Amino acid sequence: MHRPLRLTLDRGALAQNWRWLQERAGVPAGAAVKANGYGLGAREAAATLLAAGCRTFFVSTYAEAIELGPLGEDVSLVVLHGIGADEMEAAAQSTARPVLNSVAQVHRWKEIAPTRACDVMVDTGMNRLGLRTEEIAVLDGLAIDTVHSHLACADEDSPMNGQQLQRFREVAAELPAKCYSLANSAGICLGLDYSFGLVRPGLALYGGVPRREAEGHIRQVARIETQIVQRRTIRVGESCGYGATFVAGRDTEAAIVNLGYADGYLRGFSARGSDFAGEFALPVLGRVSMDLVALGCDIAADLKEGDWVEINYDLPTVSAASGLSQYELLTVLGSRFERRWVD
């Protein structure tokens, strides 16, 4: 079936980003493939990263672990949200390790698999998931593979980064485990002190630049192309799109393309985005609608119905233009794209 939207995904860029992050950290790097590989496709992303040498993968829930499927005997699959009350059977049957985040989850694990390896999250300031430090005595008797914590402000130059680092060092000194893990993509950029034994990159794998230290090293993974539905002239004084927010100051050539907020190209790009036809930059005219966007194409005289244009989707650039986070830009991409992985 023909689809007028294409999402081209670069395996080489994904693998190179993982290699750079591991080299930067100086310790093994896992890979977050939760949220369907940040919207790009968890199975393809995991296969690519396996081939590159990654041996630890992170998903959010047991449902995601089941959807991802087996990854190999020497590969660890870790469920970050741990064991919900309705997931005990799935956890018992799965080879994935849970990250135990609460006293209740610890008791569930002791009930179903007390001798099997598990991971643990200890809160050092994020106050989202994780045991408080005064609760870690409940872990006695468990076979803990990895102790995790999560940085709240790693993408900023915040004093909280150092505070959490010190708290995690204290946790690591008190709580025996095979491995310790604190740093996400941004945390890796903070330096080797944050690496411990394992890092957990996510955003940067898929082309996001979490901090300035990663600029020039992280390659774009996802590229979007869309077909033109119609070329039309907006006459001087006429408006275009919902709300009539664009009014032509002169006769303006417009390419109407198969793309909209239903596909994840959200209204934050209205009158701000810019896309490309070859060397020509085409501005977004007026509001983004559900299925269509108008692009100014005065400078591209040969563009016509059926031609393809590339949407500017360099994550740091379009994040600044749209006001959307780089995480949102990836995970909102819709189901109408033809997803094509290329080497």
Residue 34 bears catalytic tag: yes
Residue 137 to residue 80: CA distance in whole angstroms: 21
Q: Quick count: other Cβ atoms within 10 Å of Cβ 19?
A: 15
Residue in 312, 309, 296 with CA at minimum distance from that of residue 241: 296
Strands across the sheet containing 31-32: 31-32, 56-59, 76-79, 97-100, 117-121, 143-148, 179-181
How far is residue 63's CA from residue 67's CA, in Å, rounded to a whole number?
6
The string of DSSP letters for 276-287 reads: EETTEEEEEES-
Q: How far apart are CA 47 and CA 20, in angstroms?
A: 18
**Residue 44 in contact with residue 342, Cβ under 8 Å?**
no
Catalytic residue among 38, 178, 194, 242: 242
In 3-state terms, what secondary structure has residue 99? strand
| Helices (H), ranges, 207-247 | none
Helix, strand or coil, per DSSP, at residue 8: strand
First-to-last alpha carbon distance for the chain, in angstroms, is: 23
Q: Report the catalytic residues.
A: 34, 242
